């Protein structure tokens, strides 16, 4: 296992080459469980929608030609020939000179080619008086005019929201084929870390990473499996990792990747199988000790223990891979241009990601400045941030007054 710090770009490139991130598989789900899933196949309609030509108004189904010449001054008299009930096949046929009463949504009876609105008619017994002409097809939604049988309604890759689920329901699908959610095992390490739900013993801290990372996995369309906290002990860690690999598509660990005497994670991960550790440290800040392995085709990301570094490295390195395993396309992170309110420095020789806040000054200029807590161990650094700026390792500093790109964690408020 080598220990050479790769540059950010080298690390990204090596990860792409070492691991092909294609969707992990497909499964059938009921449409009641389909929300936010991704279609793994085109959806083709087995039926016409609407399944029959139907009236879009309340009125009378007629032969359009029978109404030609009708006006307010000179109505045309048609013979009432029956009633078309909604939800049933029509029992009447409209012959020349006749009209069938029809309601919105009811099927157009044979013989009719238009519907005249009840407002333009009056009725006396068996006589219907029509005061306006209608052209053929007026007030009719033709069979298959919304969706034709055999038509592709939704394309593979489409994320299913309420609108898409409506289209599936319209064509009567009870199940759809979607990409399986990648299973992501999440392990925390460190003797000082304890699970939530206890009173903190002296010297201990709550497990933050298992929870931030699990939520981040769900945000990428994955399924997080929290395997718990492991002490800095090689054999236990190895057994836990073997189980994690056997039961998941991706493994995430946090902690134990630095150069402390109990930082065993890289060495244990490397012993799990081939090719083992491919990235052992990246010249970035935060997140320098990031370690990435591939074991029998599955990626193992060993993130730093520091919660901000850990979540940030997830965002930059894990998220794009996970999205693709879930069949999702990696979307551009939203960004805005803002003016540096103060000078900002990168860590020497490292691609530096600085958490920032945005604010408008009096003349409406958007200003960007580092989050005031700035401490690398503070979890609130990321909670307080509006976004981050990326400062190249080749740059000496970003001068106050320069315009730079700010990547946004959340939507920008109006000035």
Q: With binding defined as CB under 5 A, does residue 190 bind Mg ion?
A: yes
d(CA 254, CA 266): 11
Instruction: Pick the piece of the chain touching Mg ion (CB under 5 A) from 68-76, 187-195, 203-211, 265-273.
Output: 187-195
Q: Is 125 exposed, middle or buried (0-12, 13-18, 19+ CB in 10 A)?
A: exposed
Judged by beta carbon distances under 5 to 8 A according to partner kind, the member of ligand AMP, Mg ion, none in contact with residue 222 is: none
Instruction: Pick the piece of the chain touching ligand AMP (CB under 6 A) from 6-14, 105-113, 256-264, 389-397.
Output: 256-264
Q: Which SS3 state, helix, strand or coil, does residue 369 take?
A: strand
Q: Which residue is nearest to Mg ion (CB)?
A: 190
What is the pairing mode between strands 26-30 and 98-102?
A: unpaired
Instruction: Pick the piece of the chain touching Mg ion (CB under 5 A) from 36-44, 185-193, 208-216, 371-379.
Output: 185-193
Q: With binding defined as CB under 5 A, does residue 256 bind Mg ion?
A: yes
Q: With binding defined as CB under 6 A, does residue 327 bind ligand AMP?
A: no
Which residue, 49 or 229, is less far from ligand AMP as judged by CB?
229
Q: Compose the 192-231 pattern: x for residues touching ligand AMP by CB under 6 A, - for all others.
A: xx-----------x-xxxx---------------------
Residue spans of beta strands (DSSP E) within 231-324: 250-254, 275-280, 284-285, 291-295, 298-303
Task: Tell me which residue has tokens 């891979």.
Answer: 321
CB of 228 to Mg ion, least distance (A): 15
Per DSSP, helices labelled H in 326-397 are 380-384
Which residue, 48 or 232, is less far from Mg ion as judged by CB?
232
Q: How many C-beta neighbours within 10 Å does residue 238 have? A: 17
Count of residues in contact with Mg ion, rule CB under 5 A: 4
List the one residue from 144, 222, 255, 287 that touches Mg ion (CB under 5 A): 255
d(CA 301, CA 140): 59
Which residue, 15 or 208, is less far from Mg ion as judged by CB?
208
Judged by beta carbon distances under 5 to 8 A according to partner kind, the member of Mg ion, ligand AMP, none in contact with residue 406 is: none
Find out whether 343 and 336 touch, Cβ atoms under 8 Å: no
Q: With binding defined as CB under 6 A, does residue 266 bind ligand AMP?
A: no
Q: Which residue is nearest to ligand AMP (CB)?
A: 305
CB of 381 to ligand AMP, least distance (A): 13
Q: Is 278 exposed, middle or buried (0-12, 13-18, 19+ CB in 10 A)?
A: buried
Q: Is 151 exposed, middle or buried (0-12, 13-18, 19+ CB in 10 A)?
A: middle
CB of 261 to Mg ion, least distance (A): 11
Q: Which residues contact 335 (CB under 8 A, 6 or more apart)?
A: 387, 405, 406, 407, 408
d(CA 305, CA 195): 15
What is the pairing mode between strands 114-117 and 59-62?
A: antiparallel
Q: Which of residues 282-311 bind ligand AMP (CB under 6 A)?
A: 304-307
CB of 207 to ligand AMP, least distance (A): 4
DSSP state of 11: H
Judged by beta carbon distances under 5 to 8 A according to partner kind, the member of ligand AMP, Mg ion, none in contact with residue 208 is: ligand AMP
Judged by beta carbon distances under 5 to 8 A according to partner kind, the member of ligand AMP, Mg ion, none in contact with residue 369 is: none
Q: Give which of 306, 221, 298 is closest to 258, Cα–Cα.
A: 306
Q: With binding defined as CB under 5 A, does residue 307 bind Mg ion?
A: no
Instruction: Pick the piece of the chain touching ligand AMP (CB under 6 A) from 68-76, 103-111, 251-259, 312-320.
Output: 251-259
CB of 20 to Mg ion, least distance (A): 32
Q: Give which of 392, 292, 307 is closest to 351, Cα–Cα.
A: 392
d(CA 174, CA 153): 15
Binding positions for ligand AMP, rule: CB under 6 A: 188, 190, 192-193, 205, 207-210, 254-258, 260, 304-307
Binding positions for Mg ion, rule: CB under 5 A: 190, 255-256, 305
């Amino acid at each position: 296992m080598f220990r050479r710090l790769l540059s950010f770009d080298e690390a990204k490139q090596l990860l792409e080459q070492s691991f092909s991130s294609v969707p992990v598989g497909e499964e059938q789900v009921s449409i009641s469980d389909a929300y936010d899933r991704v279609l793994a196949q085109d959806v083709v309609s087995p039926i016409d929608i609407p399944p029959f030509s139907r009236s879009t108004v309340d009125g009378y189904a007629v032969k359009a030609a029978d109404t030609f010449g009708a006006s307010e001054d000179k109505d045309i008299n048609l013979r009432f020939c029956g009633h078309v009930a909604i939800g049933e096949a029509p029992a009447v046929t409209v012959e020349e000179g006749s009209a069938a009463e029809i309601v919105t949504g009811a099927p157009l009876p044979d013989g009719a080619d238009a519907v005249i609105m009840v407002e333009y008619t009056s009725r006396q017994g068996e006589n219907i008086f029509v005061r306006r002409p209608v052209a053929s097809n007026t007030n009719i939604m033709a069979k298959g005019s919304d969706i034709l049988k055999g038509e592709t309604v939704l394309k593979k890759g489409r994320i299913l929201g309420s609108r898409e689920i409506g289209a599936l329901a319209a064509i009567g699908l009870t199940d759809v084929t979607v990409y399986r959610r990648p299973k992501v095992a999440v392990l925390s390490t460190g003797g000082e870390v304890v699970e939530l739900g206890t009173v903190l013993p002296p010297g201990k801290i709550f497990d933050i990473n298992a929870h931030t990372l699990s939520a981040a996995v769900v945000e990428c369309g994955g399924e997080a499996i929290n395997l718990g906290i492991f002490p800095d002990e090689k054999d236990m860690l190895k057994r836990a990792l073997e189980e994690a690999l056997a039961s998941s598509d991706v493994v995430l660990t946090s902690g134990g990747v630095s150069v402390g005497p109990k930082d065993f994670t890289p060495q244990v991960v490397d012993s799990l199988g081939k090719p083992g550790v491919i990235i052992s440290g990246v010249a970035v800040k935060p997140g320098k000790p990031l370690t990435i392995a591939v074991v029998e085709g599955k990626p193992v990301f060993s993130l730093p223990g520091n919660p901000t570094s850990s979540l940030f490295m997830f965002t930059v390195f894990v998220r794009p891979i996970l999205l693709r395993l879930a069949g999702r396309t990696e979307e551009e992170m939203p960004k805005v241009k803002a003016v540096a309110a103060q000078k900002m420095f990168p860590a020497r020789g490292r691609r530096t990601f600085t958490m920032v806040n945005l604010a408008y000054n009096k003349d409406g200029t958007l200003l960007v400045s580092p989050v005031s807590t700035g401490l690398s161990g503070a979890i609130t650094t990321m909670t307080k941030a509006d976004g981050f700026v990326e400062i190249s390792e080749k740059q000496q500093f970003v001068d106050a007054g320069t315009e730079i790109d700010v990547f946004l964690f959340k939507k920008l408020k109006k000035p």
